[in-house]
């Protein structure tokens, strides 16, 4: 699987699981195992980056939400 701009997290995770299963089977020749390991490492890095991005987006959203007991800035204008 080639990772490109249209590759989703789910596609990469599915491919990573398949790659790990092939490696764990022990049935692949050494050269194939090395290629699979390289592909698996790239897939893992891709998935990690996607998760980091999702975490940053969630933090940005939650930072915009008022904390418990705080008012929305917009609601303060409405009270005047």
Contact 34, 19 (CB under 8 A): no
Q: Check whether 21 has a pLDDT greater than 90.
A: yes
Taking the model in full, what pTM does it have? 0.74
Model confidence band, residue 71 (pLDDT cutoffs 50, 70, 90): low
How many Cα atoms occupy the beta-carbon half-sphere of 37 within 13 Å? 9
Please, is 73 exposed, middle or buried when counting C-beta atoms within 10 Å of its C-beta (0-12, 13-18, 19+)? Answer: exposed
Q: CB–CB of 23/36 below 8 Å?
A: yes
Q: Hey, what are 43's tokens?
A: 């897939």
Does residue 72 surpass a pLDDT of 70?
no
Q: Domain 9-79 class?
A: mainly alpha
């Amino acid at each position: 699987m080639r990772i490109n701009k249209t590759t989703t997290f789910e596609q990469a995770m599915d491919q990573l699981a398949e790659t790990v299963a092939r490696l764990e089977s022990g049935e692949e020749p050494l050269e194939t195992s090395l290629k699979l390991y390289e592909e698996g490492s790239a897939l893992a890095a891709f998935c990690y980056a996607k998760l980091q991005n999702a975490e940053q987006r969630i933090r940005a959203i939650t930072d915009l939400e008022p904390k418990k007991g705080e008012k929305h800035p917009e609601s303060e204008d409405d009270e005047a």
